[in-house]
Amino acid sequence: MAETSSPTRPELTFGRHPDSYAHWKLSIDGDIARLSMSVQEDRGLSPDTVLKLNSYDLGVDMELADAYQRLRFEHPAVRVVILDSALPRIFCAGANIPMLGGSTHSFKVNFCKYTNETRLTIEDASRASGLRSLCAVNGTASGGGYELALACDWIVLPDDGNTAVSFPEVPLLGVLPGTGGLTRLVDKRMVRRDLADVFSTLAEGVKGRRAEEWNLVDEVVAASQFKEAVSRRARILADESAAERPDREAPGVTLAEITHERDADTYTWKHVTLVVDAAARVAELTIRGPAEAVTRLEDIREQGCEWWALRAFRELDDALLHLRFNRAEVGLILLRCEGDPEAIVDIDAALGEHAEEWFVSEVRHQIKRVLKRFDLTARSAFAIVEPGNCFAGSLLELALASDRIYMLDDQYMDEAEPGLGDPAPRNTLRLSELNGGAYPMSNGISRLDTRFLHDPKLTVAAMAHQGAFDAEAALAAGLVTYAPDDIDWEDEVRIAVEERASLSPDALTGMEASLRFAGPETMETKVFGRLSAWQNWIFQRPNAVGKRGALTCYGQPEQHVFDWTRT
């Protein structure tokens, strides 16, 4: 039976605010912030989950993601975040095992994907915004707890004979460190392969000087010197950041809550609408362009979080998370954009002109992260380009991220029916300067470069094109997949939708994940490729989740039983 949203479980919501954090304590002292993990055992997303030993569920990670987003927008003067634990002798025990063991397969994989994206946000904050992260491992860090440390720029460990870092998933649970742990171990920290092998099969982990010698952490200090060492390193990181990004003293921009209204299967935000057809397993996702293009820097700052470029993409992010976690039955997204393409091009010009201003820079990076969320969402996506669309510039990136683009060729349609006034605008696409690389994919290159990997000159030609592309020109330039005329349009789109919805979602997930990231391999593509393939597969194998699987039996009196056949 296909997995669907549970009729008894309330839909998950994804907005968080520091005033309501249950599991993190955020404090700010000048240019240094501290995020202390203090997971409340009885405040998990499920009342049946007890979050012992700073183990986390999705709600804990939602708060962490929110904290980093708010630090970037609301506290630009902060240059370093110290991540530590408010509990004695434990930093973080990783993902809560009973929560994982009792979750559906799709939830497990989407949970791992979300936590990966959160850790990538931490890394992006350092690389793009100069917001460094220092992990003070003031207690044992296991599994996802150590993976959180790996996302930071510097890891300090006390040599107290007790505190260790570990990846116990393989020996204890029969699964993998699900948030990119193995990849970060060898690709980011460059731990030697044989040592990584030992570490990843050693349930009790590694502590003290050996952890530093193996490059599992950056600094090991005596327990009596731990606090001083953390403060000293935080100051060093802050000073390095100040040298790189000296423009961070401006007042921040408060992020308002993103909310939506729901009427049956229709979800409505200010700029985004999501309509789900559960029977057809199809969702229509529509983004509306701005009523007017706000482009003066003074006006942009005055609008703050309501500026279309920020608000619309925050809403899109919320809609994508709703699709992932609340509407598991949806297999195909039909993507539409409505509005004035010139307004999008004008806003893109402002995003380019003011790129060095910290707030505009953060908006660009927010758009980049949301576009990556779209790339990584395990749904087929068809962009539907019809008259009145605003697939231009930053919004055209969504079409380029889709698996196919269908564009109506309206050149033979009547310009206007008698008595109806002016003809409708022609159906066109527009590029802006930002399509040239402002929003790199996980593979590190633009969506145009990924699309035209076989012939980079096509990217150059597309970017040099003056004005809009009509359907014929877009097809000739390779920007769209099909461009049916008005006679064939409805039938071709309908047949394509019905065919896609009839195919195996498992096969499509694997196919799409393989095709979407052509070109260079990066740590990021490896993380998500292995999550889509290895962890997706392992999470369904009896050795992990069968009646006597290791994940199922963990913490129970029964001993797990393995099928020893290698595949």
Query: Is residue 53 assigned to a domain?
Result: yes
Query: Is residue 375 assigned to a domain?
Result: yes
**Amino acid at position 261, single letter:** E
Distances (CA, A) of 98 to 204, 547, 554: 20, 14, 8
Which of 488, 509, 530 lies at the terminal end of a domain, its last residue? Answer: 509
Order of strands across the sheet that contains 380-385: 261-263, 266-268, 272-277, 282-288, 332-338, 380-385, 404-407
66 in Cβ contact with 246 (< 8 Å): no
Query: Is residue 563 assigned to a domain?
Result: no
Q: If you ran DSSP here, which 8-state letter would residue 37 be given?
A: E
For residues 285 and 424, state if they share a domain.
yes
Domain CATH code at residue 273:
3.90.226.10
Q: What is the spatial distance between Cα 334 and Cα 452, in angstroms, rounded to a whole number?
A: 23
Which of 486, 509, 532 lies at the terminal end of a domain, its last residue? Answer: 509
pLDDT at 415: 54
Q: What is the spatial distance between Cα 541 and Cα 141, in angstroms, rounded to a whole number?
A: 27
Tens-binned pLDDT, residue by residue, of the chain (567 aa): 334 344 346 899 999 999 999 999 999 999 999 999 999 999 999 998 999 999 999 999 999 999 999 999 999 999 999 999 999 999 999 999 999 999 999 999 999 999 999 999 999 999 999 999 999 999 999 999 999 999 999 999 999 999 999 999 999 999 999 889 999 999 999 999 999 999 999 999 999 999 999 999 999 999 999 999 999 999 999 999 998 887 777 789 999 999 999 999 999 999 999 999 999 999 999 999 999 999 999 999 999 999 999 999 999 999 999 999 999 999 999 999 999 999 999 999 999 999 999 999 999 999 999 999 999 999 999 999 999 999 999 999 999 999 999 999 998 775 545 444 555 568 999 999 999 999 999 999 999 999 999 999 999 999 999 999 999 999 999 999 999 999 999 999 999 999 999 999 999 999 999 999 899 999 999 999 988 888 889 999 999 999 999 999 998 899 999 999 988
Q: What is the spatial distance between Cα 80 and Cα 419, in angstroms, rounded to a whole number?
A: 64
390 in Cβ contact with 341 (< 8 Å): yes
For residues 157 and 192, state if they share a domain.
yes
Query: Is residue 7 assigned to a domain?
Result: no
For residues 236 and 275, state if they share a domain.
no
* Terminal Cα distance for the chain, rounded: 26
- Which of 234, 197, 237, 188 has its CA nearest to residue 215? 188
pLDDT at 4: 39
Which of 482, 509, 536 lies at the terminal end of a domain, its last residue? Answer: 509
For residues 164 and 279, state if they share a domain.
no
Query: Is residue 1 assigned to a domain?
Result: no
For tokens 């055992």, name the residue: 41
For residues 307 and 231, state if they share a domain.
no
pLDDT at 245: 81
362 in Cβ contact with 72 (< 8 Å): yes
410 in Cβ contact with 443 (< 8 Å): no
Q: Cα 134–137–141 angle (5° rounding)?
A: 125
Find all residues with CB under 8 Å of 126, minimum gap 6, and list them. 132, 133, 153
459 in Cβ contact with 452 (< 8 Å): yes
> What's the pLDDT tens digit per position in 455-485?
999 999 999 999 999 999 999 999 999 999 9
pLDDT at 420: 47
Largest CA distance in the chain: 86
- Which of 370, 371, 373, 286 has its CA nearest to residue 333? 286
- Which of 95, 90, 91, 89 has its CA nearest to residue 49? 95
In 3-state terms, what secondary structure has residue 216? coil
> What's the pLDDT tens digit per position in 321-372?
999 999 999 999 999 999 999 999 999 999 999 999 999 999 999 999 999 9
For residues 218 and 325, state if they share a domain.
no
Find all residues with CB under 8 Å of 545, minimum gap 6, and list them. 101, 105, 539, 551, 552
Provide DSSP, 42-58: T-SSSTT---GGGEE-H
DSSP H or E stretch at residue 394: helix 393-401
For residues 218 and 344, state if they share a domain.
no
Give per-residue burial for 338-350: e unless 16+ CB within 10 Å, then b: ebbbebbbbbbbb
- Residue 280 backbone dihedrals phi, psi, to 5 degrees: -85, -10
Q: Parallel, antiparallel, or unpaired: how do β-strands 164-166 and 332-338 relate? A: unpaired
For residues 189 and 289, state if they share a domain.
no
pLDDT at 438: 98
In 3-state terms, what secondary structure has residue 525? helix
Give one word for 524, left, alpha or beta, with left for phi > 0 and alpha for psi -120 to 50: alpha
Rounded to an integer, what is the distance from CA 327 to the centroid of its chain? 17
Q: Is the pTM of this model over 0.85?
A: yes
Query: Is residue 112 assigned to a domain?
Result: yes
Rounded to an integer, what is the distance from CA 193 to the centroid of its chain? 28
- Which of 255, 238, 240 has its CA nearest to residue 72? 255
pLDDT at 178: 84
Total count of domains within the chain: 2
For residues 130 and 72, state if they share a domain.
yes
84 in Cβ contact with 38 (< 8 Å): no
Q: Parallel, antiparallel, or unpaired: how do β-strands 24-29 and 282-288 relate? A: unpaired
Q: What is the spatial distance between Cα 156 and Cα 370, in angstroms, rounded to a whole number?
A: 31
Query: Is residue 130 assigned to a domain?
Result: yes
544 in Cβ contact with 173 (< 8 Å): yes
Q: What is the spatial distance between Cα 204 and Cα 168, in angstroms, rounded to a whole number?
A: 7
For residues 158 and 67, state if they share a domain.
yes
| Domain range enclosing 232 | 29-244
pLDDT at 477: 98
For residues 280 and 131, state if they share a domain.
no
pLDDT at 424: 58
Query: Is residue 522 assigned to a domain?
Result: no
For residues 236 and 96, state if they share a domain.
yes
